Structure 1
Amino acid sequence: MEIREMSIDLETYSDIDITKCGAYKYAESDYFEILLFGVSVNGGPVKVYDLACGDTIPEEILAALSDENITKWAFNASFERICLSNWLKRHCPEHFRGYSIPEDPASKYLDPSSWKCTMIWSAYMGLPLSLEGVGAVLKLQDQKLKEGKDLIRYFCKPCKPTKANGGRTRNLPQHDSEKWILFKEYNRRDVEVEIAIKQKLARFPVPDFIWDEYHLDQEINDHGIMIDPEFVSNAIAFDERSKASLMSKMRDITGIDNPNSVQQIKKWLSDRGVEMESLGKKEVAKFVKDSIGNMDGNITEALKLRLLLAKSSVRKYQAMQIVMCSDGRAHGMFQFYGANRSGRWAGRLIQLQNLPQNHIPDLAEARALVRSGDYDTMNLLYNDIPDTLSQLIRTAFIPKPGCKFIVSDYSAIEARVLAHIAGEKWRSKVFAEGKDIYCASASQMFGVPVEKHGINSHLRQKGKIAELALGYGGSVGALKSMGALDNGLQEEELQPLVNAWRQANPNIVHFWWDVDNAVKTTVRQRIKTEVRGIRFSYKSGMLFITLPSGRQLAYVKPRIGENRFGGESVTYEGIGATKKWERIESYGPKFVENIVQAISRDLLCFAMRNLSFCQIVGHVHDEVIIECSPEVSVQSLCGIMSRSPDWMPGILIRGDGYQCDFYQKDS
């Protein structure tokens, strides 16, 4: 029988905790093995090969794993591909065929171009990222077996040695034959559920260009990004010494046994006439700021020390040590379609998306002190070691020897996209002329010229806060969340600031409510509508928003509901703030936020595909990190970043960039 496609599910064992270390490190362990190999060929009956009990996988199936003409399907296919890459190299090297050049870390893995993922298909349709969750939402006849978690805990992970289990550290099939039979059924069922998902979603195929993007994502994860192990190890040691010193000082001042105890500190403060509801960073920082000169010096000093202790960033460094594979690189840090409302990537493991920024001017010098292990000089020159270590986190990522990083990012990408699609021409003119959008916004709002370091410069901060908070329908609450009051604005200034921004941006405001009306009309009447090139449609219980790129955003089971103010709103089903599947309320400005972020994502993806000839090792929402030889020009790569796609030729995007010997934010 000719094999055209296979649906695969693996059950595996490793001594590595996959939730902390990721699939790449999990599968490279010496103790890793595949226990069960469930497969359906060409949609036929599922066959489970019990490798743990001596079954062998047929030669034609092994050969198909490296055959680029045969499509391999799995739910979270990257796991199956990575595991099979390692397994084939060990057990059937004649059937392993990597891709890329031997010097590229990606050469250690099966080519992703012939793999497709039902989890990505589900995410594209606005569905959960778990097999169990998708099965429940789609109401599949065959559901994932609920006993699965217990079976995985029993067979797939090390167990604690006890008298009852004879002191063993692992459970094998012979230790519970009934559970093993059920485990094989669980493996079979998972393949059946995956096939059922494909059948259920067959009317909504994922476009080929999305699969191309997925394959590029897999290649980037296969590349990984190098970590400086010596620097990371010293940073952790510095943090421990700093923390011990701070704790000692705090004990000396307060007499408290455990300065980490909120209860003990609150009592110590209360005994001195200070009542604090919370000891959170913001509350403590505000108290310290307000009480300077008006409070017992010991109280202020103790709270300052608490703030320093709270800054400890050792967790990120520890995550780097945990995740780093045998090649010295962190792999699998990016989840394709992790944010299914916009289709943006989500961070995994070390979370590149939320690393602290660096602002210290002598970054290289501070880094060198940590790398050389010179704690005493660091302590002498930097009185806030936790904060310095926090600012140095990015610098733990380094290019491989003989290479450099080029970091290229988009300037104000969401603001540019919003101005373009809403037709707010004065804003687009600001971008075309290379001017500061915060100054221009303040100038438009207050009717006076504003320069960053010149006339009316004090208004720029108001312009900046307004820009960051108000583009998606935000009001006074959004300004507060963005730190308006902490940045010197008064409560009575906030509503006038909202009014001024909206008056200065009438086309954006119109766009919010045009989108609101279009969505409601489509949901209510089941007809197609369009607003400034953004198309809305309804099909089989789904709302689709078609972006200029051709990509669609999907909203499950939309309907017209009532918001908390008694007005009409659109609700749909999705993963909410509680991380559970629930009905979510939305309205025009929120849909606009989804649209703008989704288009921004598409622009970055367009640039990444144009840059795919380079070795992309990392990316965030508006930034690409490239590992390259010293001869590569920053200007040439930024020029590629600045290209506009055919589907949005008039967008004024600009790629800015710089080169560095370690990852950092340009000063």
Structure 2
Amino acid sequence: MEKLSIDIETYSDVDLAKAGVYRYVESPAFEILLFGVSVDGRPVRVYDLACGEYLPDEIIDALVSDEVLKWAYNASFERICISRWIRKVHPEAFRHYAPLGDAIGDYLNPASWRCSRIWGATLGLPLSLKGIGSVLNLDEQKMTEGAALIRYFCMPCKPTKANGMRMRNLPWQSQEKWTLFKTYNQRDVEVEQAIQQKLARFPVPDTIWEEYALDQQINDRGIAIDRTLVEQAIALDERARAVLMERMKSITHLENPNSVAQMKDWLAAQGSPMESLGKKDVAQAIPTANEPVKTVLGLRLQAAKSSVKKYQAMQTAVCADGRARGMFQFYGATRTGRWSGRMIQLQNLRRNSLPDLAEARALVRDGNFDALELLYDSVPEVLSQIVRTAFVPRKGCKFIVADFSAIEARVLSYLAGESWRMKVFAENGDIYCAAASRMFGVPVVKHGVNGELRQKGKISELALGYGGSVGALKAMGALEMGLQESELQPLVDAWREANPNIVAFWWAVDRAVKQAVQKHLDSKLGNLYFAYRSGFLFITLPSGRKLAYVKPQMGINRFGGESVTYEGVGLTKKWERLESYGPKFVENIVQATSRDILMYAMRTLRREFICAHVHDELIIECEKNTSVAEICEQMSRTPPWMPGLLLRADGYECAFYQKD
């Protein structure tokens, strides 16, 4: 036996979408209902575990073996569910892969698991089984009845007189549906196999599967949550909202100050009508508002803090051992191969800026509402500021948080050959000061001579590296920071004039892409390769990993010019034809390469207990004597496939997660 193709149907009383699979399988009610499997490509067999059938010993042996490949669509779900099931039903067979002291001991080794969803993602295809089946025009498609059958058999049901007040539906309560459910289970295995056959011309490199295994290990390990802090934060938020509501009621005399319609009517009656009560609009209106409108809008803005949702997500997802798991989707961003967040979403946590962060955290953990009200202007603001600190290392350990300095700017400069920027990095200079100095022709020193120009250099660097213009500066907040509309186009011109090689790189990439799409000719640009193969545009990165664009062709953009279009998931979350051009492809290339550099660092540090990562940052749980300098040195090692790239990682240690 060399290969299993698997799909399972399960039941749990835990909400999978909100809590994630790790918490889902911890419920005592969890069970595997149906186990569909094909051995070495033979016809699919469905084992009806819910009705008393058993898996053969050879299947059990294969599931725990590191030598037999296990394939599934979204294989992390199958692996975690099967890990739990084997530990419960066949504990003598279970084999974990945890080194001493690691928190991954409840799960089967991901090294022998393969995911067709990831395979599709490497080619820019949809992440859903239904979506990829449709795009690939498979003969075998996912059955449309599946969603209703899953709701019927896999989730708790509402007790009614008609269903005898039962809390779940069992197979014998609808034999017809159960028979159809088994067909559905079989079909999903067949669709998964069909995907493999369809994509066989584009196999996933072993390096990607090694990265996937490391990603799964980080998801298995998870990160500890201070549950006391979380519970107190939720309780304090509820109390703070009640206080804010009463204050607004006492001023406005409204029955429900949270009502947008009621609040708009009150504001109009005060001579301060507002079309929108969005947080941004309210914040902009406060400085010029008169009393009592100013106070009411300030109270409303406080009440609008959404940090409690993060705490609630932590409370929902945390496992029995106090760790939250499964927060990272490997290849979640199919255009670049970057991760996307799940459940708690570490990628968009609020930055902390409280000077007395530890003291504020301690007050929240103690539930000391009166002290928080006395010492701070806004309790919800404090809760929002300390949300990161709910993540903690296990007892006796610390966190080391290390991240790359200006990674995208370094990669872009390297690929484009912008030598003056590389010199700045080599000398550990400030790229924002250097950019401003080059743009305006004067020395710029942070907090020193011409220091006021640094902010212009910074916003230009952040907004203009990928072809952005005036609109990009506005989106980055240029007007809010005090720049005038008349200054924006000169900023764009100055930045482009200061970076001629980057501008030239945009259009060199544009020409290479068009040559591949129009003429199907391969081309090389530095250490990038462009090719058209069987309906895909491939851009090979310095690491050897490929970016894929589905069904590329020439089209007309919204400005009436010629552009490359391809199929993908757009802003509407639907599969559609998208347009792109040189600078946008450069953005994909730079962000994808930055992702590869982070993965190289993760592999370098794989013996450390990496428990989370955010953009270009690693969070490592380690012993108290672990050196920050050593971690940063290892993280800064230049990959062999980008010789000459200058990397720098900075880090710090902390007793709870925070921004330094």
TM-score range, shorter chain: over 0.9
**SS of residue paired to 1:557:** strand
What is the aligned partner in structure 1 of residue 450 from structure 2? 456
What is the aligned partner in structure 2 of residue 174 from structure 1? 172
- Which stretch shifts more, 568-577 or 233-242? 233-242
**SS of residue paired to 1:269:** helix
Letter in 2 for 1:59: D
* CA separation of 1:438 and 1:340: change in aligned 2, threshold 3 A: same
2:335 aligned to which of 341, 354, 357: 341
**SS of residue paired to 1:65:** helix
Query: What are the Cα deviations for residues 319-355 of structure 1, in whole angstroms up to 9, with x where unaligned?
Result: 1000000010000000000001000000101000000
What is the aligned partner in structure 2 of residue 628 from structure 1? 622
After TM superposition, give the deviation of residue 101 of structure 1 in Å: 3.1
Query: Could you tell me whether the CA contact under 8 Å between 2:229 and 2:364 is conserved in 1?
Result: yes
Query: Matched residues in 1 for 2:629 and 2:522: separation?
Result: 43
Query: Matched residues in 2 for 1:487 and 1:598: separation?
Result: 30
| 1:379 correspondence with 2:364 | no
What is the aligned partner in structure 2 of residue 125 from structure 1? 123
Query: Matched residues in 2 for 1:53 and 1:342: separation?
Result: 44
| 1:530 correspondence with 2:528 | no
Query: Matched residues in 2 for 1:375 and 1:309: separation?
Result: 16
**SS of residue paired to 1:253:** helix
Query: Could you tell me whether the CA contact under 8 Å between 1:312 and 1:387 is conserved in 2?
Result: no
**SS of residue paired to 2:133:** helix
After TM superposition, give the deviation of residue 103 of structure 1 in Å: 3.4
What is the aligned partner in structure 2 of residue 192 from structure 1? 190
Query: Could you tell me whether the CA contact under 8 Å between 1:213 and 1:605 is conserved in 2?
Result: yes
Query: What are the Cα deviations for residues 145-181 of structure 1, in whole angstroms up to 9, with x where unaligned?
Result: 0000000000000000111111111001111111101
Query: What are the Cα deviations for residues 307-326 of structure 1, in whole angstroms up to 9, with x where unaligned?
Result: 11112411000110000000
| 1:611 correspondence with 2:616 | no
What is the aligned partner in structure 2 of residue 560 from structure 1? 554
Q: How many residues are treated as equivalent by the alignment?
A: 660
Query: Matched residues in 2 for 1:303 and 1:392: separation?
Result: 24
**SS of residue paired to 2:20:** helix
Query: What are the Cα deviations for residues 438-497 of structure 1, in whole angstroms up to 9, with x where unaligned?
Result: 111111111111111011111111111111110110111111000000000001111111
2:232 aligned to which of 231, 234, 237: 234
What is the aligned partner in structure 2 of residue 363 from structure 1? 357
Task: Identify unmatched segments of 5+ residues in structure 1.
Answer: none
Query: Could you tell me whether the CA contact under 8 Å between 2:531 and 2:538 is conserved in 1?
Result: yes
**SS of residue paired to 2:620:** strand
After TM superposition, give the deviation of residue 529 of structure 1 in Å: 1.2
| 1:325 correspondence with 2:311 | no
Query: Matched residues in 2 for 1:625 and 1:189: separation?
Result: 41
**SS of residue paired to 2:263:** helix
Map 1:475-486; keep pairs closer than 5 Å: 475-486=469-480
Query: What are the Cα deviations for residues 230-261 of structure 1, in whole angstroms up to 9, with x where unaligned?
Result: 01111111111111111111111111111111
1:71 aligned to which of 69, 72, 76: 69
Letter in 1 for 2:601: A
What is the aligned partner in structure 2 of residue 20 from structure 1? 18
Letter in 1 for 2:387: I
2:294 aligned to which of 300, 308, 311: 300
What is the aligned partner in structure 1 of residue 658 from structure 2? 664
Query: Matched residues in 1 for 2:268 and 2:424: separation?
Result: 54
Query: Matched residues in 2 for 1:273 and 1:382: separation?
Result: 31
Query: Could you tell me whether the CA contact under 8 Å between 2:287 and 2:294 is conserved in 1?
Result: no
After TM superposition, give the deviation of residue 593 of structure 1 in Å: 0.3
Q: What is the CA RMSD across the aligned residues, in angstroms?
A: 0.8
Query: Could you tell me whether the CA contact under 8 Å between 1:424 and 1:505 is conserved in 2?
Result: yes
| 1:645 correspondence with 2:660 | no
Letter in 2 for 1:288: I
* TM-score for both structures, normalised by structure 2: 0.99
* TM-score for both structures, normalised by structure 1: 0.98
Letter in 1 for 2:469: S
What is the aligned partner in structure 1 of residue 49 from structure 2? 51
State percent identity of aligned pairs: 65
2:387 aligned to which of 383, 389, 393: 393
Query: Matched residues in 2 for 1:253 and 1:452: separation?
Result: 46
Query: Matched residues in 2 for 1:538 and 1:312: separation?
Result: 46
**SS of residue paired to 1:19:** helix
What is the aligned partner in structure 2 of residue 599 from structure 1? 593
Query: What are the Cα deviations for residues 252-278 of structure 1, in whole angstroms up to 9, with x where unaligned?
Result: 111111111111110001112222111
Task: Identify unmatched segments of 5+ residues in structure 2.
Answer: none
Query: Could you tell me whether the CA contact under 8 Å between 1:239 and 1:312 is conserved in 2?
Result: no
2:567 aligned to which of 562, 565, 573: 573
Query: Could you tell me whether the CA contact under 8 Å between 2:104 and 2:221 is conserved in 1?
Result: yes
Query: What are the Cα deviations for residues 260-315 of structure 1, in whole angstroms up to 9, with x where unaligned?
Result: 11111100011122221111111111111233xxx2x1011111111111124110
